[in-house]
A and B are shown apart, each in its own frame.
Chain A
């Protein structure tokens, strides 16, 4: 019922590889429309360089196509192509607009939009589709939104100059006011006039030394106050007149399907409106959440488990361990002759690593709401991280034409990868339930925590085997890494990115190892397991950074070299890695005495073209790992929002630390053991270290920070623990690995 692959038109445009360095940021033109006395700056095909009426180009399903709207009252709306799940992308895009437009923050708001791939397609994804992922939101928006804002500024300036009869060069725009001499007016006063002007072909962006917003360390997020007062609305809070609430019963084993349903008792329960079977299970539809939850307890479902995954995680991982003894199925990188170099080496080190399935476990359990209107338009509210794809799936499930579907992009209570899912799981449930009850009322499907925890789409489990060959002087002459695990992309909408048996997300961080080692091979064995998997904050680097950086420390110990000195020797061609490594080491006091009973561990890793090094100061307390302080250095190019960058590094440390210390999804006979935060416990405040963040000064184009803070913390802690205890933890989570 659901598409196995993206629509053809999208699929063929998905690049085979995400390589930000080769992406063209240009190739778009700005257009303009008048909007009810205001101005909207956005994209138009090249021929449309003159102002056109909005009526001709927008419709209910795809709202005004633009990046910025300026209303008559001077309010400015940034229309964000990028999704905000807490990482601050809305604030980042707003910063670019405020900087170039001079509109100030007071009358600014940001709204998620979709419906025009040419306008909103992610440049990092070749412009093929709209989506947020891979920490690309600032990357894809850097030129677009600055250009749009600068264009708006130029046109407002021109309009004011004409009206006041003064040279455009004498007009100023700042803090939402257009000024000349003693004249001042709101941006809105000239919006309509500006919309009638031709769009300037070329505008000059502000020089970096005149920036007041970009790089301002004191700038706070525009959305912070509402979030301290309970005023930020999430999908959970969507309430439509007459809306019903649905809760799901999902198959207990992945791949099982509904055989039969006994819902008689539930339907007799007050408040329960209906019980319907849809493509993903059984939905209990009720007048409120509590009625739905209590009704659900009264439903009995018999499942067809003939196609289900029935293995437990012990069995799956034991099969993975055995696969490490076989040659890899595919080779992701092959420099020199690793086998020969290992055979000829003076010494060979070898280590196996094991990583569990991980849940995203965002605070807001998945949800979506849908309403069919009398005019045949369908509205869908949710955390639409890939809105065009979701719109397509909604169309497939309901038969409603794409043009009649309106996606409301909500802010969400976290994401961490979970809301960019190829089958639009919860969104498809909402519209399927709506369809099943004949659209007699708007409906919201709200997963309980157990639905969310047991609903699959985990960071895959992996095993790695690393080998290093050392010559008699202790130089690393060979490096071999064999990775075993499921592909995230195979069989889904991004399956086309799996080339020659290599899913790039399985090997990223390992296949692009920056260290200068002449013979280097990275192999991959992709397993066939029916546990649904997905990207999880920093994706492949969640496991590759751990193995590469922990193993390198083992080598350093074996050859008697300082871990920082060894890395710097191997990073001569990678100055950005080396710079963050040196900065973190220096700020952490690397090489100086540490407090009694404590040790420092370090790691450096690049992900999504941002470079992060972290030093963890660790002690052991009653056999448990205690991380006291983490010093983090980050190079993400130009620091658009320094405080957001710090927040993402702090949060990345906490998110990554929770995962390596305790988090683990296990299965017994195919059924997930953990259902809630009691058994799957993310980091709590009592285990949060002090985090110090140092941002490398850079004039390189900005890259992302949502994910790159996560990878180094695991190996940094592991390396410190090894110093303290001699125990090299190779099985995660550490609570388990300490004892095995």
Chain B
């Protein structure tokens, strides 16, 4: 039994502690906004926040999150997240959309930590998130725009 907080609510998981959090969330909790891309922490599609830190849920195991607070795309709610999601829509960032949950989780974590990220900050924070549609041009613009709106 693993007890943790998921999107603000106490949660218990009765699965193999060696199961990646990704599959526990998707197959056992039923939250499917977090996507599977590689299973090796190479693509970032499965990014969630564990105690506020962006983590690849395919390489984070259920046994590791005892007592932790996990946030998925479905649980984003603060002002930074709302702004990021609004800007993402305003700039029409997604194409296929598959990687975008992970992109947004990483972007929200970046903007929570760094209010005015430089291009280099964005590269550092976002290079772990692959987008095969290559929406990177708009992701970069969206992060700058979100920073501007949050500052205003």
Chain A interface (Cβ within 8 Å of chain B)? 85-88, 220-221, 223-234, 236-237, 239, 245, 288-290, 293, 361-365, 411-416, 446, 448-449, 643, 647, 650-655, 657-658, 676-678, 682-686, 688-691
Contacts and interface: CB of A to CB of B under 8 A. Distances in A.
B77 to A, nearest CB: 11
A87 B95 contact: yes
A655 B89 contact: no
Given A221-B92, A290-B20, A647-B138, A676 B133 contact: no
A211 B86 CA distance: 27
A706 B147 CA distance: 31
Given A239-B32, A685-B140, A686-B127, A647 B95 contact: yes
Interface in B93-111: 93-101, 104
A360 B97 CA distance: 17
Nearest to B20: A290
A361 B88 CA distance: 24
A685 B126 CA distance: 7
B98 A688 contact: no
Tell me whether chain A's interface is mostly helix, strand or loop, or mixed. Answer: loop
Interface in B12-46: 15-16, 19-20, 23-24, 26-28, 30, 32-40, 42-43, 45
B90 interface: yes
B132 A363 contact: yes
A230 B34 contact: yes
Q: Looking at B42, B73, B96, B139, which has the most chain A CB atoms within 10 Å of its CB?
A: B96
Contacts of B39: 293, 448-449, 676
Contacts of A689: 137
Contacts of B96: 85-86, 362-364, 411-415
A654 B134 contact: yes
B136 interface: yes
Interface string B109-152: 00000000000001100110111111111111000000000000
B72 interface: yes
Nearest to A648: B95
A363 B132 CA distance: 6
Given A227-B100, A413-B99, A685 B26 contact: no
Contacts of B57: none
B74 interface: yes
16 contacts: A88-B95, A220-B89, A221-B94, A227-B100, A228-B93, A229-B73, A232-B97, A236-B35, A289-B36, A290-B23, A362-B98, A364-B96, A412-B98, A643-B92, A654-B136, A688-B134
A226 B74 CA distance: 11
A232 B99 CA distance: 11
Q: Looking at B19, B74, B139, which has the most chain A CB atoms within 10 Å of its CB?
A: B19
A677 B40 contact: yes
A653 B89 contact: no
B123 A365 contact: no
A364 B98 contact: yes
Contacts of A232: 97
A230 B135 contact: no
Given A364-B35, A677-B130, A686-B123, A288 B27 contact: yes
B33 to A, nearest CB: 2
A231 B24 CA distance: 18
Contact of B32 (A237, A643, A653): A237
Given A228-B94, A233-B32, A650 B138 contact: yes
